[in-house]
Amino acid sequence: MPKNDNSIQAPIPTPNKVGAVMVVGAGVSGIQAALDTANSGFKVYLVEKGPAIGGRMSQLDKTFPTNDCSMCILSPKFIECATNPNISIITDAQVEGIEGEAGNFEVSLLQKPKYVDPTKCTGCGTCAEYCPVNILDGYNENLSTLKAIHLAFPQAVPAVSTIDLSRCLYLLRTECQICVPVCRNKAIDFHHREEKLKIEVGSVILAPGYEPFEPRLQSQYGYPRLINVVTSLELERLLSASGPNRGTLRRPSDGKPPEKIAWIQCVGSRDTNTGNTYCSAVCCMYAMKQVILSKEHIPDLNALILHNDIRAYGKGFEGYYERAQNTPGVRFVWSKASVLGEQPETGNVVLRYRVNGAEVKDEEFDLVVLSVGLCSPESNRELADKLSVSINQYGFCERSGFSPIETSRSGIYACGAFQAPMDIPDSVTMASGAASLASQLLSEQRGTLISEKSYPPERDVSGEPPRVGVFVCDCGTNIVKVVDVAGVVEYAKNLPGVVHAEEDTFTCSIDSISHMVEVIKEKRLNRLVVAACTPRTHEPVFQDVLRQAGLNPYLFEMTNIREHCSWVHMGEKKKATRKAEDLVRMAVFKAELLKPLPQLSYEVTGTALVIGGGISGMVSALALAHQGVKVYLIERGEELGGLARRICYSMEGDDVRTYVQDLIREVYSNLLIQIYTEADLVDFSGYVGNFSTKIGVGKCNMLKEINHGVTIIATGAEEFRPAEYLYQEDSRVLTLLELEDEIERGSERIRNSNTFVMIQCVGSRDKERPYCSRVCCSQGIKDALALKKINPNMEIYILYRDMRTYGFREDYYREAADQGVIFIRYDADDRPEVEVVEENGRSVLRVLIAEPVLGKRLMLDADMLALGVATVPPTGSRKLSQLLKVPLNEDGFFMEAHMKLRPVDFAVDGIFMAGLVHSPKFIDESVAQAKAAASRAMTILSKDEIMADGIISAVNGQKCTGCGVCEEICSFNAIDVDPEDKVAVINNALCKGCGLCSSSCRSGALDIMGFSEEQTMTLIEAVTG
C-alpha cells in the first residue's frame, strides 16, 4: 500500500561544495564517467597521463561477444568528450596530491611539457614526415615504427602531435628542430616547461586502468626470445585494421599468414608463482574472440586453445563459447603448456602439453599467443598512496562488499579495472555508478559551473539547389580491403548534385570531423552523405557536424558500406565495390530531396518510477532520491527485499540480511520515495521525460496513475526449480540457497553429515537455458567453506563443468581446495546420475560420475546433495516487456541498447534496467548497476527539457479519410483520429518514426519526415535504374 506521499524536498545548498568532478584516467571507464557526470550538470576535468584518451580499448580490434569494431563504437565517445563544453581534457598529466575533504578538494597535477601547442596543431602530420628519428610504436605494441613526433593513433583525441621526450634529437642533444620550420601553424615550441596545476573539485573518480602482465617474468613461454610467440594484445594489433599489417594477419618473423595458432591461457593469472593468484576475468573470452577473428582472416586456420576452466560467465558469453567450439578447425584442450623452443628452419614454435591429464604431446605451431592477465601497474599504487586510498594485496582498489565503487576515502570513487580485472560492460557500468555517487555528493551544486554547447545560426537553404558532399570512409581497412574506396569516390564525383567527394581513413576521427565542417563552409554544401559503417552509432556524430557548420541536422544521409557491403562480401571485391557504388548513388539521390526538419523539445517531468523492490530497485531509488528526485517504487510482493532475502552472507563474509534490512529502513524513511507494495503495472504510455503509468495496488487492485520522466526496471530474478537429481523427491536434495539457509539455522542434519556432494550447472548451460548463471560456482564454494567450518572432516565433492570463480573469487576456490574440498569435472554429454541406495543399513544418495582425466566412473555415497541451479528471469517479464515495449533476449532477460557501451540503457529512451533482470550477477554487481541506472536517468532528469527526433509521422489532411487503421496499429499510441474532423492527429512526442502507419495507410495520407514516399521511391529508382 502507498507510503510516504510527500512533496519533493529541495536540497539545501552547501556553499563550500564545488560543482566539479575530476576523473583520473581516460580509458572507456573514465570516458563514460566523464560523460555521465557532465551530462548530469557538473563540470568535469578528465585527466589522462598519456597524450590521448581511449585507454586499452582503443588498441583492441573487435569486442566480444558482438564482434563490433572496437574503435568504431568508441570513437563517437571520443568526439562526444571533445565537443562537450563541460569536459576539459587534460593530457600528459598526473596527480601529485590532494587536499581538502569530500565536496571540496584541491587536486595538484603535474603536466609534462608538450612542446606542441594544442590550440595551433591540426594533426596534419607534416612534422612526422620530416622527422628523421624512427621509434617503436607503443600503440602497436612495438610491432611497427613511427616518428619521434607523431599522433598517438589515427583517431586520437586530442588530435595533436606528441613528441617522444626520450628520443627527440633536440631534447637529447639540442640538434635538429626540423619540425619547427615545417609546421605551417607554428605549433611547435621547445621552450615549453612542465606545469603545476591546482584544480578545485568536489569529488574525484579514479579510472587509471590496468597494464597487461609482462610474460618475460615466466621463462617457460620463450617470450620475447622467440619472435613468433606474441601476447594477446600484440595479436589484437596484428588483427586490427589500424595495426602494423593494416588488418592482414601475418606472423612477425617472416610476414607469412599462419596456418596453425595456439593460445595458452592464464599467463600471469591464477598463478602462485607470480603472486597473481586471481583470475583476470577477460582472457578466456578474448582468446575465443581472437580465434573467431583469426578464422575470418584465414578460413583454413587450425586453432588450439590450451586452457584450465573456460570462464564464459557474462551475458551472451556462453553462446559465444559454443560458437567457438563449433567452428571447424578449432580445438579446446584442458591443459597447461610450456614452450620447448622453435624450429630453426621455419621459425615454428614447439609446445608441450598434456592431453586428458595423461598423454604428453609435443606439437608445432606457426604462431603462439599468450593470453596475458590484467595487472595493476606501479603507477596505480603510487596514485592510491598520493590520494590516501587503500588498495588490496594485488594493487587494486580495496572494495567494500556492498559498495564496490566507494574507496576508503570519502568523496573519492573508483571504477573500471582499478577496482578489479573486468570486461568492458562491467567497466562502463561501474563508471556510470561512480558518476552517480559523485552526483549525489554534489547534487545541490548541479548546474553551477556548466555552460551550454552553442551552434551558429542555421542557414536557410530552401532557395538553393542541392550541393551534396560525399565522404567515403576506409574504416582503417575494414572497408577499403574489400571495397575500392578510391573508385567509389571517383564514381560519386560524377553523380548529379555532387560538388565534393573524398576518401577518409577514419571519417569519425576528430580531425576528420573538423575537416568536414570546414569543407561544408568552404564549398557551401547543403547536403551531406557519409558512406561508412552503421548509422546506429554514428548518425548523431555526423548530424552534429551539420549543426556545427550551420545546417539543419536532417540534411544528412548515411549509407552503410561496411556491415552491408565489405563485411558480407569479403570474397567478392568487384561485386562489393559495385554494390557500394549503388548504395552511394541511392544516398545521393535521396539527399537531394531532403528538407530541413524542425528540432522538437519537450519539458521533463522530474520524477522517476522504479519497478521492483529488491536490492537493485531500492539502491536505484535511493540514488535518485539523494539527488532530490521524487521516486515511485513499486513492488509486486508484500515486502521489499527480493531474492536477496534468501541470502545470508556474501562470499567475503558480509552480512546480506542486515544489509537488506538497512536498505529497507532507509527507503521507508526517505520522504522522497513513495512505496507501493502488492502493486502491478496495468498500463504504460508516454515518451522519454513524460511517461504515464497506471498501477493496480493491493488485493482490491486500486488504480493509481503515476506521471514520471524516467523508468528503471529492477524486477530481479528467480531460483530455478529442477525436475532432476531427485529434487523435491528426496528431502536430502537441496538447492544451494536452501543449503545456505540450513547452514545459517544450524540444521542438525547438516552437522551430522559426513559426505556432501554438490552438482553445478543444474538448469544452466543446457539446451533450454544455454546461458551461464554466473554465481553458482562461487555459491557452491561459499557453502563448502561454511560446511568445512562446521565439520573440518566432512568430505565435500563439487562436480562441475568449469569453475567460474572469476576475479578475486579465485582465492576462495584455492582456499576450498586447500581445505580438502574435492573438485571433479564432468562433461556436458555425460552428466552425473543420482539414485537412492541402501548401504550398510542406511539410505544414501549415490552419485555416479564419469571422471574424464582418470577415465573411470566414480561412485560417491552422500548424506546430502546440493544443486547449483540456474537463475531464471522473473515471472511477468514478458508481460512487462510488452507493456513497456522493450525487448527480451533469447534467454528471457531484458536486452540492453548496446552490450558493451550501453549496458543499462534500453533502445527506448528514458527506460533503464538494473540487477538480475539484466542477467545473473552478484549483489555488489547489482548495486553498481543500480547506481549506474540512476546515473543514466539523471542525464535526463537534470534537464528542464530534452530534444526529440524530428523524424516523425506527418498527416496530409486533404488525403486522410479518418478510417482509423493507423490509430489501431500504432505501437506507441501516438495517433488519434479527431472525432469531429475525422482526420488522424499525430502526438509528435510519442511518435518514433517507425513507419508502420505510413506503410499501412490506404489513401497515402501519412508520410515519415525524412522518409517520404517520394524519397523512398527515389531510392528504389536509383538502384533499379
Q: Which tens digits make up the pLDDT trace of 822-876?
A: 999 999 999 999 999 998 889 999 999 998 878 889 999 999 999 999 999 999 9
Q: Where are the alpha helices (DSSP H) in 770-865?
A: 776-790, 810-818
Domain ranges across the chain: 8-111+194-210+376-448, 113-193, 212-374, 468-595, 603-696+710-717+873-946, 719-872, 952-1008
For residue 432, give the nearest of 712, 13, 809 by alpha carbon.
Answer: 712
Spatial neighbors of 393 by CB under 8 A, at least 6 apart, are none
The rounded distance, in Å, linking the Cα atoms of 17 and 36 is: 19
The rounded distance, in Å, linking the Cα atoms of 434 and 1020 is: 49
Question: Cell 529502513 identifies what position?
Answer: 665
What pTM was estimated for this model as a whole?
Answer: 0.92
Of all residues in the chain, the percent with pLDDT exceeding 70 is 98
pLDDT the model gives residue 403: 87
The rounded distance, in Å, linking the Cα atoms of 708 and 124 is: 49
Helix (H, G, I), strand (E, B) or coil at 978: coil
Mean pLDDT across 945-952: 88
CATH architecture of residue range(s) 212-374: 3-Layer(bba) Sandwich (3.50)
Q: Are 54 and 72 in contact (CB under 8 A)?
A: no
Helix (H, G, I), strand (E, B) or coil at 951: coil
pLDDT the model gives residue 11: 55
Whether the per-residue pLDDT at 2 is higher than 80: the answer is no
The rounded distance, in Å, linking the Cα atoms of 646 and 90 is: 47
> Would you say the CATH fold of 719-872 matches that of 468-595?
no
Q: Where are the alpha helices (DSSP H) in 808-953?
A: 810-818, 877-884, 923-941
Whether the per-residue pLDDT at 613 is higher than 80: the answer is yes
Quote the Cα angle for 810-815-821, to 5°.
Answer: 110
- For the segment(s) 719-872, the CATH number from 3.50.50.60, 3.10.180.10, 3.10.50.40, 3.40.630.30 is 3.50.50.60
pLDDT the model gives residue 971: 80
Any idea of the CA torsion for 910, 411, 425, 399, to the nearest 10 degrees? -140
The rounded distance, in Å, linking the Cα atoms of 536 and 545 is: 16
Is the domain spanning 603-696+710-717+873-946 CATH 3.40.50.11720? The answer is: no
Whether the per-residue pLDDT at 633 is higher than 60: the answer is yes
CA 74 to chain centre: 10
What crossing angle do the helices spanning 424-441 and 615-625 adopt, rounded to 10°? 40
Whether the per-residue pLDDT at 3 is higher than 70: the answer is no
- C-alpha cell at position 825: 569435472
The rounded distance, in Å, linking the Cα atoms of 682 and 695 is: 5
The rounded distance, in Å, linking the Cα atoms of 828 and 802 is: 10
Banded model confidence at residue 1, pLDDT cuts 50, 70, 90: very low
Q: Are 232 and 290 in contact (CB under 8 A)?
A: yes
The rounded distance, in Å, linking the Cα atoms of 500 and 526 is: 11
pLDDT the model gives residue 15: 67
- C-alpha cell at position 75: 570513437
Query: What does the mean pLDDT of the chain come to?
Result: 94
The rounded distance, in Å, linking the Cα atoms of 787 and 739 is: 10
Half-sphere exposure of 283 (CA within 13 A, CB side): 32
Q: Are 893 and 788 in contact (CB under 8 A)?
A: no
Radius of gyration of the chain (CA): 30
- For the segment(s) 8-111+194-210+376-448, the CATH number from 3.40.50.300, 3.50.50.60, 3.40.47.10, 3.30.40.10 is 3.50.50.60
Burial 543-556, CB ≥16 within 10 A → b, else e: bbbbbbbebbbbbb
The rounded distance, in Å, linking the Cα atoms of 878 and 881 is: 5
Domain 468-595: assigned CATH number:
3.40.50
Domain 113-193: assigned CATH number:
3.30.70
Whether the per-residue pLDDT at 4 is higher than 50: the answer is no
User: Between β-strands 20-24 and 203-206, what pairing exists: parallel, antiparallel or unpaired?
Assistant: parallel
Is the domain spanning 952-1008 CATH 3.30.70.20? The answer is: yes
**Which residue(s) pair with 695 in the sheet?**
681, 704
Quote the Cα angle for 702-707-710, to 5°.
Answer: 120
Tens digits of residue pLDDT in 750-785: 999 999 999 999 999 999 999 999 999 999 999 999
pLDDT the model gives residue 5: 40
Banded model confidence at residue 401, pLDDT cuts 50, 70, 90: confident
Q: Where are the alpha helices (DSSP H) in 314-361?
A: 317-325
Of all residues in the chain, the percent with pLDDT exceeding 90 is 85
pLDDT the model gives residue 14: 62
Quote the Cα angle for 10-13-15, to 5°.
Answer: 180
Task: Report the range of poorest mean pLDDT among 62-66, 313-317, 324-328.
Answer: 62-66
Whether the per-residue pLDDT at 154 is higher than 90: the answer is no
The rounded distance, in Å, linking the Cα atoms of 162 and 183 is: 13
